[in-house]
Structure 1
């Protein structure tokens, strides 16, 4: 069986003033922020370049729906399509359809506490080009 989660892909949370939050983290904690937040680069066990995104979002975002939580975690995964089929067969609630971009594929599930979880099959090289 392939690995399911291979790392944290991103941490997303609601903020009253995302720009001010990004500025605070930049000023006080040294995060290199941009319009999306901050990207952390690291190497996996095989030495591949990998990224994790940190992003404050507007408090009225609907991106986390149907969850009403203040945050959403994105997990890096291998073979998203197969994983979603497996999770669905295991009784996990799958939300929406897979979305594909030049930097990877995304899918969503709900955990038993009502947290929306984003699953990302990344193409990290798209960020390095």
Structure 2
């Protein structure tokens, strides 16, 4: 198996008022916010355009379940299907099935503390079109 995680794909957290959080971060820290949060663009060591997403979620979101935490990390991966297979063999709890969208594939696991982790095999060029 090649690389597993290649970077941070996103930082997601619960808040009482996602719009107020987006407005605060825009005003005080200069985030370029939209309906989903803020996308940060960067280049990997090969010079490819890559993105990392920052998104506040409503405090009653079910998206982080079964984790009870107020946050969820999203990690960029190189080959999601192969990685999920290896993680299952290693005894890691895998949640649901891989989902595919125009901007990449997603899978979910639980870490040793029961935190839900989202794994993303991105198609960054979709965001640039």
TM (norm. structure 2) is 0.99
- Give the unaligned 5+ runs of structure 1: none
Offset, 1:57:
0.4
- Which consecutive aligned stretches of 4+ in structure 1 deviate over 3 angstroms post-superposition? none
- Give the unaligned 5+ runs of structure 2: none
Q: How does 1:1-129 map to 2 (within 5 A)?
A: 1-129=1-129
Give, in whole Å, the separation in 1 of the partners of 2:3 and 2:98: 19
The one-character-per-residue Cα deviations of 1:69-90 (angstroms, maximum 9, x if unpaired) are 1000000001100000000000
- Match of 1:113, SS state, is coil
The one-character-per-residue Cα deviations of 1:29-58 (angstroms, maximum 9, x if unpaired) are 000000000000000011000000000000
Offset, 1:6:
0.3
